[in-house]
């Protein structure tokens, strides 16, 4: 039986407990499971690749430093994104005002975050539209949406990560989805209009 199959059957929580006990391979498995969604979570809220990489590293360093105190009180993903949320709040407190940066093209993502070459052009267009749309969301709505989209957490777990009531998280997500749908629809209509105008 392959190592990959065995790893797929081990829960995140058991992997973290194994890592707490000194199993470095367990940490590697957790890192591989969460590195891509965690990276995108930060990138789509900071819009700054260097800051995203810094926050990304801080989360894993915090997990490493505090591994000996880890206990299973919630899903590992909830635990991880609580750390991520805390780092993001600290970032915004330091900066006080988020300075919008240019949207990063797909080529600037780490190679293992990209799809096969024949899908790159399509993904670039979709990624750019989504990033531009999420930039227009208020920060609180954007974070709820990104947690739902990237972490796989349920709404109750997202509320726990953000330390807000369930109905607050639900309302923020509903408004975020509504605004994104409008932005993406308007963007597509505009693109279609430009295209038909050239025919």
**Along the chain (199 residues), what's the average pLDDT of each consecutive run of 10 residues?**
56 96 95 93 84 92 94 93 91 61 42 48 62 82 88 90 94 90 63 38
In a domain, 41, yes or no: yes
- For the whole model, what pTM was predicted? 0.68
Q: Which domain holds residue 76?
A: 10-197
In a domain, 63, yes or no: yes
In a domain, 2, yes or no: no
Tokens standing for residue 128: 């750019």
Residues 123, 114 contacting (CB under 8 angstroms)? yes
Q: Count structural domains, the chain.
A: 1
In a domain, 162, yes or no: yes
What CATH number has the domain bearing residue 111?
1.10.1740.10
Instruction: Report pLDDT for 122.
Output: 56
In a domain, 5, yes or no: no
Q: Note every long-range contact of 194-197, with CB atoms under 8 Å and residues 24 or more positions apart, other chains counting.
A: none
In a domain, 1, yes or no: no
In a domain, 3, yes or no: no
| Closest to 140 measured CA to CA, from 187, 174, 100 | 174
């Amino acid at each position: 039986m392959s190592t990959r199959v065995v790893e797929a059957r081990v829960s995140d929580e058991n992997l973290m407990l194994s890592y707490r006990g000194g199993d470095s391979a367990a940490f590697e498995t957790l890192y591989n499971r969460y590195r891509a969604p965690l990276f995108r979570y930060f990138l789509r809220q900071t819009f700054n690749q260097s800051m995203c990489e810094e926050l990304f590293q801080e989360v894993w360093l915090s997990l490493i430093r505090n591994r000996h105190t880890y206990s299973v009180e919630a899903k590992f993903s909830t635990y991880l994104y609580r750390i991520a949320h805390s780092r993001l709040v600290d970032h915004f407190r330091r900066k006080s005002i988020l300075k919008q940066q240019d949207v990063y093209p797909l080529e600037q993502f780490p190679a293992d975050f990209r799809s096969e070459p024949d899908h790159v052009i399509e993904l670039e267009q979709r990624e750019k539209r989504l990033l531009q749309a999420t930039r227009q969301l208020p920060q609180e709505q954007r974070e709820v949406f990104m947690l739902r989209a990237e972490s796989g957490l349920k709404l109750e777990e997202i509320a726990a990560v953000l330390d807000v009531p369930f109905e607050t998280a639900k309302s923020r997500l509903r408004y975020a989805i509504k605004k994104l749908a409008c932005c993406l629809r308007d963007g597509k209509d505009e693109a279609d209009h430009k295209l038909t105008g050239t025919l």
